Amino acid sequence: MIIGHIGARAGSKGVPNKNFRMLHGKHLIDWSLDQLFATERVDHVVVSTDSEQMYEHAIKRGCLDIGLRPAELATDTAAKWHVWQHALCEVEKQTGPATAFLDLDCTSPLRLPEDIEAGLDLFARAAPDMVMSCCESRKNPYFNMLETDETGALHVSKPLPHGVVARQQAPMVYDHVGLVYVVKPDYLRSAQSLFEGHVIPLVVPNERGLDVDSPFDWDVIEYLLGKQIAEGLRDPA
């Protein structure tokens, strides 16, 4: 039994009320909710939120009723992991034990259905504690990410003994993006953070890995989502 989950806190400093803001004719959260409801392998869909408005919206759409998120999980310092743990516990009270916990960040609306299917397939095939979506990073700490020392001089963040003169010589590094997470329920119940167990990457294209943190991000995503709609990759509102 697979639980599909979306976390959607009411507060946002970068883009106020972003999770319920309209984007190409839909609330931002609905671009991800639509995908969960359309994924045949997902048995139950739930939204964890501290917003009465989004909570009522989710229930009307057919999500499980787990109540509002506790106050200690509604701050901007609350860990995603603890939000997941709470949601899993509340859902399993109604459904019984889950076999996978699938989370989609609603601030990553550029994901395609194939990204969700790829995450579930990788989880089933490799049997890790968690599958986490990633993009190949455009900057590399072994090559072109810099820090200053005590004198203010610049140095490569993670220098290697032999030096790196081209990006291709540097170890591969990834950006953590919120398109897809698939978590083993036993791991979610017992661990205290994301990286305690065997976490493996689902590498997705950079153009789908953007998320909304600022008004600039919103503008870029609005443009790219419009392209997806025009190319028939996404259903319009």
- Residue 43: the pLDDT is 98
Burial class (CB in 10 A: 0-12, 13-18, 19+), 76: exposed
5-44 b/e (C-beta count within 10 Å ≥ 16 → b)? bbbbbbebeebeebbbeebbebbbbbbbbbbbeebeebeb
Count other C-beta atoms under 10 Å from residue 181's C-beta: 23
- Residue 161: the pLDDT is 87
Nearest to 108 by CA among 166, 26, 29: 29
- Residue 57: the pLDDT is 97
- Residue 145: the pLDDT is 93
- Residue 78: the pLDDT is 86
Count other C-beta atoms under 10 Å from residue 160's C-beta: 12
Nearest to 128 by CA among 101, 105, 95: 101
User: Would you mind telling me the total number of residues written for the chain in this entry?
Assistant: 237
**Phi, psi dihedrals of residue 158, rounded to the nearest 5°:** -130, 75
| Residue ranges of domains in the chain, CATH in brackets | 2-136+173-230 (3.90.550.10), 138-172 (no CATH)
pLDDT tens, residue by residue, 66-121: 999 998 998 888 899 999 999 999 999 999 999 999 999 999 999 999 999 999 99
Gap between the Cα atoms of 26 and 222, Å rounded: 12
The low-confidence residues of the chain, meaning pLDDT below 50, are none
**Strand bridging mode 146-148 / 154-156:** antiparallel
